């Protein structure tokens, strides 16, 4: 497999609006000459060349000569036929030791390493995003790619989070490999490893059901004990009477809220929100309507 830099670069069309040459041809200048070096935006599309500062156009492309489109590559073979191993290491705090993970990943023969100190409670993990993006880039070039982590909890503690990562890997055809733990080994989402990804999905569904059931159970227990469900009530009869009076004067919800004051609880002394005033008045109107209907039908 030819892996000369110019071959890897020319596997992609140029993304620059001032160039936009098709795959298979060298870059061109604004004067429609063959560029002496490939545009940075183009060779940056190749993960293995991203660290390069300059890719020189080879002599066989006749740099500085009049540019002409060359035949597009006729082969459908992948540009890369090697296996690329992307390593990811994570600890929750800067006080935790991460070097043992890094040593294990390097011993496993990774090609690129992404590491970060971030809790699994944080939704956005930049290095994880970067690792997945790099894996997708290599995969797009035809390489077989594996995301390698020390153990499952480094990807995420919750089943929902694990499922999210697993879905991305499955959609991109990227393998997942654990170096230790009960799931140690390589898992191919398109092969035998599909069972692991299905397991993640089942775990996530079970976790969602468990959270929902526990929430409903807690709410029902609170109701039987006479506790209110939802936010702390900030309105009272005096506030309602004042709000009704302000409504009769034609004041808006925002104006009424600015004149009302919460008298109890943690928000004592503050103004209620317009939404709170709206709910208070709506509940009052519903009760009046229900009482009127009951009187008329009795």
The token pair at 135 is 């894996």
Structural domains of the chain ordered from first start: 1-75 (no CATH), 83-205 (3.40.50.1390), 237-297 (no CATH)
- Rounded distance between C-alpha atoms, residue 119 and residue 91, angstroms: 7
The token pair at 239 is 């506030």
Stated pTM of the model: 0.46
Q: How far is CA 168 from CA 50, 91, 114, 130, in A?
A: 23, 22, 17, 13
The token pair at 149 is 């982590």
Q: Tens-of-pLDDT digits for all 298 residues of the chain?
A: 456 788 889 988 988 888 889 999 999 998 999 999 999 889 888 877 777 788 999 999 999 999 999 988 765 444 555 688 999 999 888 778 899 999 999 999 998 999 998 876 666 788 988 898 888 888 877 788 999 999 887 877 666 677 777 778 887 888 889 899 877 888 876 666 666 666 666 665 666 667 777 777 777 777 777 766 555 567 788 888 899 989 888 888 899 889 998 888 788 888 988 888 888 888 888 888 877 877 777 6
Q: How far is CA 159 from CA 132, 193, 200, 204, 267, in A?
A: 18, 17, 6, 5, 37
> Which residue out of 92, 134, 252, 298 is catalytically annotated?
92
Please list, residue by residue across 186-202, b when 16 or more beta carbons sit within 10 angstroms of its beta carbon and e when fewer do: ebbbeeebeebbebbbe
pLDDT, tens digit, 9 for 90 and up, residues 201-254: 666 566 666 777 777 777 777 777 776 655 556 778 888 889 998 988 888 889
The token pair at 129 is 């995003």
- Rounded distance between C-alpha atoms, residue 14 and residue 42, angstroms: 5
Per-residue model confidence (pLDDT) at position 76: 47
Does the annotation count 298 as an active-site position?
A: no
- Whether the Cβ atoms of residue 139 and residue 172 lie closer than 8 Å to each other: yes
The angle that helices 159-172 and 194-224 make with each other, rounded to 10 degrees, is 150
- Rounded distance between C-alpha atoms, residue 211 and residue 155, angstroms: 21
What is residue 97's three-state secondary structure?
coil
pLDDT, tens digit, 9 for 90 and up, residues 178-189: 899 877 888 876
């Amino acid at each position: 497999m030819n892996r000369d830099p110019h071959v890897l670069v020319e596997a992609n069309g140029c993304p620059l609006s001032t160039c936009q040459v098709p795959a298979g041809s060298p870059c061109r200048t604004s004067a429609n000459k063959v560029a002496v070096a490939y545009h940075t935006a183009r060779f940056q599309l190749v993960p293995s060349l991203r660290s390069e500062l300059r890719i020189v156009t080879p002599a066989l492309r006749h740099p500085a000569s009049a540019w002409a489109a060359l035949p597009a590559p006729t082969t459908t073979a992948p540009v890369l036929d090697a296996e690329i191993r992307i390593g990811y290491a994570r600890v929750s705090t800067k006080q935790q030791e991460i070097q043992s993970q890094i040593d294990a990943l390097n011993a496993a023969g990774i090609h690129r390493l992404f590491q970060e100190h971030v809790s699994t409670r944080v939704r956005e993990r930049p290095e994880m995003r970067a690792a997945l993006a790099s894996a997708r880039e290599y995969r797009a070039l035809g390489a077989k790619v594996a995301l390698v982590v020390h153990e499952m909890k480094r990807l995420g503690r919750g089943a929902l989070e694990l499922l999210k990562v697993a879905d991305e890997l499955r959609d991109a055809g990227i393998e997942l490999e654990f170096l230790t733990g009960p799931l140690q080994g390589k898992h191919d989402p398109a092969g035998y490893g599909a069972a692991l990804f299905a397991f993640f999905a089942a775990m996530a569904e079970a976790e969602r059901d468990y959270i929902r059931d526990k929430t409903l159970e807690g709410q029902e227990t609170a109701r039987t004990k006479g506790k209110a469900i939802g936010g702390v009530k900030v309105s009272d009869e005096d506030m309602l009477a004042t709000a009704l009076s302000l409504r009769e004067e034609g004041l808006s919800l925002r104006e009424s809220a600015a004149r009302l004051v919460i008298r109890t609880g943690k928000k004592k002394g503050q103004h209620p929100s317009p939404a709170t005033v709206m709910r208070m008045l709506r509940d009052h109107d519903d009760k009046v309507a229900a009482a009127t209907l009951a009187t008329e039908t009795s």
